[in-house]
Amino acid sequence: MTLTSSFKYVTLLALPLAAASVATTAVAFDPTGKVECIAPSDPGGGWDFTCRSVGNVMQELDLVPANVQTINMAGAGGGVAFAHVVSKRAGDDQLLVAASTATTTRLAQGQFPGLSADMVNWVGALGADYGIIAVSADSEYQNLNDLMDALKEDPRSVKFAGGSARGGWDHLKVLIAAQAAEVENLPRVAYLSYNNGGEALTQVIGGHVDAFTGDITEAQGFMESGDLRVLAVLSEERLPGEFADIPTAREQGIDALGPNWRGFYMPADISDDALAYWTDAMDTIYESEEWQSVMSQNGLMPFHMTAGEFEEFVLNQIDEIEQISQDIGLIQ
């Protein structure tokens, strides 16, 4: 099983948006009263950003009757929120929950015991923060192949730092690239976990760790200061704007993709009309000038799919993350 097939949509999704804005389809459902968005984290994180920024755009576009209320529900890496939605919010058609690749990673690794992706409705993704592999500016590694050649000689020779736990998405991005480069003995690749990407980057810039694995938006400051050299971005094509000079892993002969998508799921047992409304709302949000401005200001890259297509993507991604997690012995 390859680790990139579930990302097959990325090229299509990165194409320029149609000039015409698509209006929401007239359906029987219309939200009334309070719309809630659960951020499965404390304030300030990526899920919190997703709820608050999308909620603001929904209000600006008159997709909701009033402010969207963000509810922070941290715990178990999103597991507390997922269990709450499954057990207590079935049929609630005015509840959105922020999700990302971290959500599918934990589902793939069985970290939400007794719960599975088919217990909720996956309604849409509205952008992605692409993974990178980077080193300090004075590192001996000039490109991704230099680094992977070192791993082929000795998987312990390069120490990686990231902001997720061992087996989390930052760790897996390195392993996806290493597997694509035909590095053997993946469980021996050294990975050090830090509280966040900023701490991990500080260790790399300080010369204490060899390489960084994380998302490109985390690294912008160090890139601008000249302290960090990004060896590869794990996107299908080069990113636009200020990131256009960064080579992809693919153009270096390593078929590795790592989008950290931002999107939403909803409870099970909502009506077809409600699902149609929120699916259409995701399209309207994504194509709006308001959301494109939010994406540009926060480093999010083009990545969009809704409803059935998004659910298929999520299930495929879970299967592939489960496979690589088995390959490195994280799960049985």
9 and 39 assigned to the same domain: yes
Last residue of a domain, one of 252, 280, 314: 252
Which amino acid is present at 46? G
Are 125 and 9 in contact by the 8 Å Cβ rule? The answer is no
Give the CATH number, domain containing residue 177.
3.40.190.10
122 and 143 assigned to the same domain: no
Residues shown for the chain? 332
Last residue of a domain, one of 187, 217, 252: 252
CA distance 279 to 287: 13
Last residue of a domain, one of 252, 285, 315: 252
Are 162 and 200 in contact by the 8 Å Cβ rule? The answer is yes
Classify residue 110 as left (phi > 0), alpha (psi -120 to 50) or beta. Answer: left
CA distance 143 to 140: 9
Is 24 inside any structural domain?
A: yes
Is 92 inside any structural domain?
A: yes
Residue 186, pLDDT score: 93
Q: What average pLDDT does the segment 173-190 reach?
A: 94
151 and 88 assigned to the same domain: no
Is 111 inside any structural domain?
A: yes
Q: Which residues are CB-neighbours of 12 under 8 A, at least 6 positions away?
A: none
pTM recorded for the entire structure: 0.81
Is 220 inside any structural domain?
A: yes
80 and 179 assigned to the same domain: no
192 and 220 assigned to the same domain: yes
Is 23 inside any structural domain?
A: yes
228 and 150 assigned to the same domain: yes
Q: Is the pLDDT of residue 268 over 50?
A: yes
Which amino acid is present at 279? T
Lowest mean pLDDT among 5-9, 31-35, 266-270: 5-9
141 and 238 assigned to the same domain: yes
Is 22 inside any structural domain?
A: yes
CA distance 242 to 231: 15
Token code pair at residue 151: 């791993």
Give the CATH number, domain containing residue 21.
3.40.190.150
139 and 193 assigned to the same domain: yes
Q: Structural domain tally of the chain?
A: 2
189 and 282 assigned to the same domain: no
Interval 202-221: pLDDT, tens? 999 999 999 999 998 888 88
Q: What is the mean pLDDT of the chain?
A: 90
Is 332 inside any structural domain?
A: no
214 and 285 assigned to the same domain: no
Q: Degrees (nearest 5) of the Cα angle 266, 268, 272?
A: 85
14 and 116 assigned to the same domain: yes
E strand or H helix that includes residue 262: strand 259-267
248 and 266 assigned to the same domain: no
Token code pair at residue 230: 């990004």
Interval 285-315: pLDDT, tens? 999 999 999 998 888 998 999 888 999 999 9
- Contacts made by residues 204-210, CB under 8 angstroms, sequence distance 24+: 204/134, 204/135, 204/136, 204/161, 204/228, 205/136, 207/136, 209/159, 209/160, 209/161, 210/135, 210/139, 210/141, 210/158, 210/159, 210/160
Is 80 inside any structural domain?
A: yes
Q: Is the pLDDT of residue 222 over 80?
A: yes
pLDDT band at 16; cut points 50, 70, 90 = very low
How many CA atoms lie less than 13 Å away from 303 in the CB half-sphere? 26
Residue-number span of the structural domain to which 107 is assigned: 5-128+260-327
Q: What average pLDDT does the segment 62-70 reach?
A: 96
Sign of CA dihedral 263, 266, 270, 274: negative
